[in-house]
Amino acid sequence: MKDKKSLDQALQTQVKRRSVLKAGAAGVAGSLLLPATARLAMAEDKKPLGAWPAGSDGDTVFLGMTVDLTGPYSAQGAEQKRGYELAAEQINAGAPQLQKISPLLKKGVRGKTLKVGYADAETKPNTGVQAATRFIHDEKALMIAGSTSSAVAIALEKVCNREHTPYFTAISGSNETTGVDCQRYGFRVGYFAYMTCKAIAPIAAKELGKNRKAAYLTPDYTYGHTTTQSMKEFTEKEGWTTVTNQVHPLGAKDYSSYLINIANTDADVLVCVAYGADAANAIKQAKQFGLLDKMKVVVPYCSAFLEKEVGADLMAGVLVGQGFWWTMQDQNPIAKDFVEAYEKKFGGKPRDSALYAYLAMVLWADAVERAGSFYPVDVVKALEAGEVRDTPVGKLSFRAEDHQADCNFPILRGKKKADMKNADDFYDIVEVVNGKDVLPPLGLLGCKLGDYI
């Protein structure tokens, strides 16, 4: 009886084992019939997210760039496009210059070739959002980048957060981008209002005097308001007084009413918060009104090519904050690599809008390599890990708490035309600011990152 019971148990165990094996074989066979994307998701035990895994199935991966090719910031948008083009070319070729920034990058990203698409955001949030959504849904973009207007940048980071797709600003000066409007999937490579105003205010007080009266020209959107707010905060700590703040619409052509209001004050410093073509128009018209004969000019967040648009005669002695200046190559070999590669490909010297575009793509690729995956959550966590990389603006990493880069940047002073050594030698570097020293304390600007999924 005991033997029969043992035999029955053994037979039942054999049947169960045979069933398990059959089920396992059926499962393997079934999985082989699934599309490659589904097999990849099963293999990594992760549910599809954003454009993953469909966007990484094959020999290429697609990245979508929203750049302002029309509108008041079109010069900076065109410069960004060149920065992305250079980065993609070097990544796909496995250029040795990239090894100095990311030792993990070989040829392509995880062996895949980058394909890059471009869309004109027109300096309009809705247009930028439509382009990014189309890139993610139709082209399966695994990363979105690009902006000049902070209104566009904030809109893009929100839609990319909803779509679980990493997004990198190119230019975005508003405090809110990595402040109250920060997003888990949004990252800012460059400096912004709080950082540059904290850096330039004591320099301006030292060079122009402590007891100055400032008049502001402020574009009427998030970048303008937060920059003016930060500049007033830090200059008033230096003894300056704010006598007027003239708010103008983005893309204004005629500044006469604002400049008349400034002329009717006793201001002796014009703080031009206007950016791009707006800044150029404002400064040229300020000269025509005779304001520059009695006022000094400070541009706390200066757009690329402003010096070329207004000329050395008007920019001589002007203090500006900018994300990068090409003569930084004299002290930084990685900056030298970048400047030489850009000049060889495009002619002319690169500005900060090209640099930030270039860095965004390279640092995304580096994060993918460190994550060992294109899975969006893994890429975001790799960026949050605080890995320090050497770049053309020095050592750089992202803060996990708000996704702001601790980038260094220069404060510049415009040269007299007679002192320029070549056609691009518009500025002397007054100081290269250590980014860590001017970052806002954590929590000050109200950032609360959301969930990964």
- Terminal Cα-to-Cα distance of the chain (whole angstroms): 59
pLDDT in tens, 248-298: 999 999 999 999 999 999 999 999 999 999 999 999 999 999 999 999 999
**Residue 5 clears pLDDT 60, i.e. is over it:** no
**Number of domains composing the chain:** 2
User: What pLDDT digit, counting tens, does each position of 159-192 carry?
Assistant: 999 999 999 999 999 999 999 999 999 999 999 9
Residues 185, 59, single domain; the answer is: yes
d(CA 105, CA 94): 7
Residue where the block lists tokens 């050592």:
395
Residue 436 lies in a domain: no
Residue 220 has pLDDT above 50, yes or no: yes
Establish if 376 belongs to a structural domain: yes
Q: Which of 400, 404, 396 is nearest to 355 (CA)?
A: 396
Do 225 and 159 reside in the same domain of the chain? no
CA within 13 Å, CB half, 264: 8
Cβ atoms < 10 Å from Cβ of 65: 29
Query: Is residue 178, in this structure, part of any structural domain at all?
Result: yes
Q: Are residues 346 and 233 in the same domain?
A: no
pLDDT of residue 33: 41
pLDDT in tens, 108-129: 999 999 999 999 999 999 999 9
Each residue of 43-94: pLDDT tens digit? 458 999 999 999 999 999 999 999 999 999 999 999 999 999 999 999 999 9
Phi/psi region, residue 129 (left: phi>0; alpha: psi -120 to 50; beta: rest), is: alpha
Distance of CA 330 to the CA centre of its chain: 24
Question: Alpha carbon 352 to chain centroid distance?
Answer: 10
Q: With 50 as the cut, is the pLDDT of residue 316 above it?
A: yes
Residue with tokens 């010297």: 349
Residues 63 and 156 in one domain: yes
Q: CA angle at residue 133 from 129 to 223, to 5 degrees?
A: 25
pLDDT in tens, 343-382: 999 999 999 999 999 999 999 999 999 999 999 999 999 9
Distance CA 92, CA 399 (A): 28
pLDDT at 62: 98
Among 433, 356, 448, CA closest to 194: 433
Mean pLDDT of 329-338: 98
269-272/241-248 β-pairing = unpaired
Got the DSSP string for 60-107? EEEEEEEE--SSTTHHHHHHHHHHHHHHHHHHHHT-HHHHHH-TT--S
Domain range for 273: 194-300
**Residue pointed to by tokens 């998701």:** 41
Residue 449 counted as domain residue: no
Q: Do 96 and 184 lie in a common domain? A: yes
Distance of CA 305 to the CA centre of its chain: 18
Report if residue 209 sits inside a domain. yes
Q: What would the two tokens of residue 120 be?
A: 């004109």
Confirm whether 268 is domain-assigned.
yes
Give the CA count within 13 Å in the CB-facing half-sphere of 349.
Answer: 20
223 or 2, higher pLDDT: 223
Q: If you average pLDDT over every residue of the chain, what do you get?
A: 92
* Whether residue 173 sits in one domain with residue 75: yes
Instruction: Please report whether residue 306 resides in a domain.
Output: no
233 within some domain: yes
**Neighbour count for residue 33 (Cβ, 10 Å):** 8
**CATH number reported for the structural domain that contains residue 187 in this entry:** 3.40.50.2300
Of 318, 251, 250, the C-alpha closest to 283 is 318
